[in-house]
């Protein structure tokens, strides 16, 4: 018994001595290793999408596609026609009818304008015809006034001379009375001539004012004519018809590639589920595949380590090798993740921030929109 206890004590003591020796020989074993959190890459799941996201080109619900001019994979320029809707021929006919009515309104307006010009010219001619005789009468009457004034002045001189001679006894009273009568006659003739001249001038001014007023009425009538009102209305109707026709032509809103055709020729554009009657369904989906992006969903706890300009490495079993990209934009809000990995135990309600990464090589993934990829954002050097 005593020997067994001694042996046990020696064994325990030996273990203690060995542990103490081991700790002394490796003093760093209790010291924790430096954290590599700052140097590790930030991992996230992501999806590939074109620059500017995927655009859904829509049309009015219920309209049928008359002609579809594009196919999947086709490159389109901004404004290029994608499809014509079933109502296009009708709207096109409305435009032609409105254009025809506008042409008729323009012709009527031109005809009425020319008529107005003719009426104005006629009024001016009548004014000239009315003024010319009056002018000649005024000229003649003015000459008569001047002549009567000369005769009046001469009679006045003779009357003064006879008055002097009669006082001197050289002429009789009868001779003086004759000169007084002659003077008064010349005075009356002058007054009559002046009055006639003034009357002719007033008549000329009145006729001229009346002619001018008639010309102004003719011009104002032309400006406010029904033909002009009809012309303005026809122009508005044509613009309205063109706007309605434009709605039946589906055009590319931007330069890009057709990713998917959702409605074929002869099919009606369906309404979105649980939407009102004014909802619109896409006819095609398109995007700018010349430049592809990856939308990485970075955990909210890692987002403070992400900065614009960082290099990211993109990988997927579908992609040969890795593709590099540059962090181009960091989202401003936290949301729930949309990309879910293959791990059944993964959290499907993770809070993440979307980070957009501009790919350096878009050609390799230009046909892989919405592909799920693994993203490793490299730390800053």
Assigned domain for 135 exists:
yes
Q: What is the pLDDT of residues 209-234, one digit of tens each?
A: 777 776 666 655 555 567 778 888 89
Same domain as 221, residue 132 = yes
Number of neighbours of residue 285 by Cβ within 10 angstroms: 19
Mean pLDDT along residues 276-289: 74
Tell me: do 126 and 213 sit in the same domain.
Answer: yes
Q: What is the DSSP string of 347-375?
A: -SS-EEEEEEEEES--GGGTT-TT-EEEE
Q: What is the pLDDT of residue 5?
A: 38
Mark whether 173 and 113 lie in a shared domain.
yes
Domain boundary (167, 202, 233) is at 233
The domain total for the chain is 2
Is 76 in contact with 256 (CB distance < 8 Å)? yes
* CATH number of the domain bearing residue 143: 1.10.287.1490
Parent domain of 200 = 93-233
State yes or no: pLDDT of 17 exceeds 90: no
Do residues 376 and 306 make contact, with C-beta atoms less than 8 angstroms apart? no
pLDDT on residue 103: 92
Instruction: Give the pLDDT confidence score for residue 326 in this predicted structure.
Output: 94
Q: What is the pLDDT of residue 217?
A: 66
Query: Residue 272: which CATH number?
Result: 2.40.50.100
- Report pLDDT for 52: 84
Residue bearing the bigger pLDDT, 29 or 361? 361
Model pLDDT, residue 372 = 95
The pTM score is 0.55
Phi, psi torsion values for 345, nearest 5 degrees: -90, 0
**Contact between residue 309 and residue 289 where contact means Cβ atoms under 8 Å apart:** no
- For the ranges 8-12, 145-149, 166-170, the maximum mean pLDDT occurs at 145-149
Residues 110 and 211 in one domain: yes
Q: Half-sphere exposure of 247 toward its Cβ, with a 13 Å CA cutoff? A: 11
- Examine the domain organization and report whether 139 and 168 are in the same domain: yes
Arithmetic mean of pLDDT, 328-355:
74
14 found inside a domain: no
Q: Which residue has the higher pLDDT, 350 or 95?
A: 95
């Amino acid at each position: 018994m005593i020997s067994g206890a001694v042996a046990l004590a020696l064994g325990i003591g030996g273990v203690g001595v060995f542990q103490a020796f081991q700790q002394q020989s490796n003093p760093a074993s209790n010291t924790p290793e430096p954290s590599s959190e700052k140097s590790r890459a930030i991992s996230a799941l992501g999806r590939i999408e074109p620059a500017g996201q995927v655009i859904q080109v829509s049309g009015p619900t219920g309209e049928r596609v008359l002609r579809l001019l594009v196919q999947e994979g086709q490159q389109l320029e901004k404004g290029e026609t994608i499809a014509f809707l079933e109502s296009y021929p009708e709207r096109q006919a409305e435009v032609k009818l409105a254009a025809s009515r506008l042409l008729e309104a323009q012709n009527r307006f031109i005809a009425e304008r020319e008529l107005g010009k003719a009426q104005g010219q006629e009024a001016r001619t009548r004014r000239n015809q009315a003024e010319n005789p009056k002018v000649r009468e005024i000229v003649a009457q003015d000459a008569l006034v001047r002549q009567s004034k000369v005769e009046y002045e001469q009679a006045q001189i003779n009357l003064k001379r006879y008055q002097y001679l009669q006082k001197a006894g050289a002429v009789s009273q009868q001779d003086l009375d004759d000169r007084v009568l002659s003077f008064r006659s010349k005075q009356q003739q002058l007054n009559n001539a002046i009055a006639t001249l003034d009357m002719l001038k007033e008549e000329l001014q009145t006729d001229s004012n009346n002619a001018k007023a008639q010309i102004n009425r003719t011009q104002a009538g032309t400006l406010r004519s029904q033909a002009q009102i009809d012309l303005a209305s026809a122009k508005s109707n044509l613009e309205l018809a063109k706007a309605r026709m434009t709605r039946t032509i589906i055009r590319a809103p931007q330069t890009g590639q057709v990713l998917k055709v959702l409605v074929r020729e002869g099919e009606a554009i369906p309404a979105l589920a649980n939407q009102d009657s004014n909802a619109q369904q896409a006819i095609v989906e398109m995007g700018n595949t010349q430049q592809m992006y990856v939308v990485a969903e970075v955990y909210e706890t890692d987002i403070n380590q992400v900065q614009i300009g960082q290099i990211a490495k993109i990988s997927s079993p579908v992609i040969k090798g890795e593709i590099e990209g540059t962090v181009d934009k960091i989202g401003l809000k936290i949301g729930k993740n949309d990309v879910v990995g293959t791990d059944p135990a993964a959290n499907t309600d993770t809070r993440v921030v979307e980070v957009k990464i501009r790919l350096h090589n878009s050609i390799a993934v230009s046909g892989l929109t919405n592909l799920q990829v693994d993203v490793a954002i490299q730390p800053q050097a």
